[in-house]
Chains A and B, each alone.
Chain A
Amino acid sequence: MSAAETPPRKLDWLAAVLSYLLPGLGQVLQGRIAKGVVFFVSLYTLFFYGMALGAMKNVWMPPQSVVRDLPKMEIGIRRLYFEADGAAKSLAYRPQFLGQFWIGAAAWPAVLHYLADKDPNVVPPPDGLPVIGRYMATPPDEELQRLQRDGNKRWDLGWVYTLIAGVLNLLVIYDALAGPAVKDDEEKEKSDKPPEPGAKPEAKS
C-alpha cells in the first residue's frame, strides 16, 4: 500500500441497523453524539412536518383488503416483468412508501396495519389496531379526495417531505456503516502537511 492510500474503513453493521431504527442512533453509539442528535432532530422534523402538512394521513401501505380488487399490476420492462402480488402489489399502488419506509421505526405503524390486514377472511376492526388506532392506516377514498381537493397542494407536498426524509436516512445509515463520504481526519491532515520552511523540526524523545 502506498503512502497516499488509506486503509479501508471497518464496516459497522450494528450502527447501521440502529440508525435505520432511529436516525442518528448508530452515530450516538459510535460516540458521534452531536452528529447523531442533528440527524435525529433534522429527519424527524422533516418527516413529521410532512405528515402534518398532509393532516397525518399521507404515510401508509395499502393492505390486501384494499388492493385485492384493484386491477393487476405488472412490474418490469419489455419481456422482463412479473405480476405484482402481496406486498409488491401494495407497493406498486403506493410506491411512496418505498421511500418513507427508510425513516425507520416511525413508519412501522403503516407496516403493522398492512400485516394486520393480510388475511382476507378476517375483517379488520373499524377503530384500527390497539394503541396506534388508525394512525398510518390507509385512508378511505372519500377522505383522500377531500384532502387533495381542499389541501392547497399541501397534502401532496407533505408526502414528498416524508419521502425525502426516508431517503435522506439512507445516507445517514451509510454514514453509520462506513463513516462520512469524505474522510477528513484532522490528525491525518496534520501529519500529511509538509513542514513550513524555516520551522524547527520536532524534538524526538
Chain B
Amino acid sequence: MSLFAVSIYWDLPVLLVVVSIVYSATRHDRWDRIFHEAFRWGMQIAGFLALVGVGLYLLSTFL
C-alpha cells in the first residue's frame, strides 16, 4: 500500500511528459516526428527511473 500513499513519485509524470515533449519539439518541426521522439524519450526515461526504483527497492528489502 505504501506505493499508493501520498508520495513524491506521483509528481514525476509531469516532469517526464514536459521534458519529453519540449526536448523533442526542439529537435523537430514535424508533429509526427515530435510525438514519435517524445514517446521514445518518455519510455526511456520511465524505464530508467523504474530500473533505479526497483534496484533501490531490492537493496532496501534484501540488504
Q: How many B residues touch the partner, as a band?
A: 10 to 19
With contacts A152-B8, A171-B23 taken as known, whether A182 is within 8 angstroms of B28 at the C-beta atoms is: yes
Q: Which residues of A contact B30 (CB under 8 A)?
A: 184, 186
A167 to chain B, nearest CB (A): 10
Cβ-based interface call for B1 (8 A): no
B33 touches A153 (CB 8 A): no
Residues 166-200 of A contacting B (Cβ, < 8 Å): 168, 171-172, 174-175, 179-182, 184-186
With A164-B15, A164-B19 given, is the CB distance from A171 to B26 under 8 Å?
Answer: yes
Whether a CB of chain B sits under 8 angstroms from the CB of A154 is: yes
Query: Given A179-B29, A180-B29, are A42 and B11 also a contact pair (CB < 8 Å)?
Result: no
A171 to B18, CA, bound (A): 13
A184 near B8: Cβ-Cβ < 8 Å: no
Assess the A184–B14 pair: CB atoms within 8 A.
Answer: no
For B29, the closest partner residue in chain A by CB is A180
Residues of chain B with a CB closer than 8 A to A175's CB: 25-26
Is B29 a contact partner of A32 (Cβ separation < 8 A)? yes
A161 touches which of B15, B23, B31 (Cβ 8 Å): B15
A172, B29: Cβ atoms closer than 8 Å: no
Taking Cβ atoms with an 8 Å cutoff, the residues of A that contact B are 32, 34-35, 38-39, 42-43, 45-46, 49, 53, 152-154, 157, 161, 164-165, 168, 171-172, 174-175, 179-182, 184-186
Given contacts A38-B25, A182-B33, 4 further A-B contacts (CB under 8 A): A42-B17, A49-B11, A154-B11, A180-B28
